[in-house]
Amino acid sequence: MTGLAFLRRVWPDMCAAYRDAALGRACLDMQEKYAADVPLLLLLCIADRAGHGVGRAGLEALIVESEDWRGIVIQPLRHARQAMKGRFTAPSEAGLRDDVKRLELEAERLHVQRLAEAFPPPAANGESTALLYLAMRGVAATAATEFLKTFNLAYDAQVLPVAVLD
């Protein structure tokens, strides 16, 4: 992929990689322990793979771009879904929880679309933007490197075979 071409497939590629159980657990761990924005993190991982690291200034712009949407749209949906789990079990209540879950997923898809539309040009420094983001979240270098290893294994297993068929 050249230039920003990787952004055209970022959502389906992200979802395919996330289907890997180890990556799903690693993402939840980053979200719960470090308040990482998982869609942003996965976007940065995919951008790094495409050779499109954005450096600190570009990363800070993406973080600002994501904060309002996450705080106003995604987090309230997630909170409602999690609060309902196991508490409201009547069929209609379970159906409502499923609807909230679908809305949360759609909100995340739109979040990724918004980030892709705001994606800055590449930086010349060549450093991993995903590692920089994780460091900014307080993730130790060894844990961050392990996360990237898990991501790359999942991407290679879940995304590359599909990309070859396209």
pTM higher than 0.85 for the full model?
Answer: yes
Pairwise CA distance, residues 10 & 42, whole Å:
9
Question: Looking at residue 122, what is its pLDDT?
Answer: 82
- Closest to 44 (Cα-Cα) out of 67, 64, 14: 14
Positions of the chain with pLDDT under 50:
1-2
Q: What is the pLDDT, as a whole number, of residue 1?
A: 40
> What's the pLDDT score for residue 163?
56
Among 41, 37, 61, residue whose Cα is nearest residue 129: 41
C-alpha dist (Å) from residue 21 to 52, 102, 151, 161: 26, 20, 11, 17
The model's pLDDT over 76-91, given as tens digits with 9 standing for 90+, comes to 999 999 999 999 999 9
Rg (CA), the chain: 16
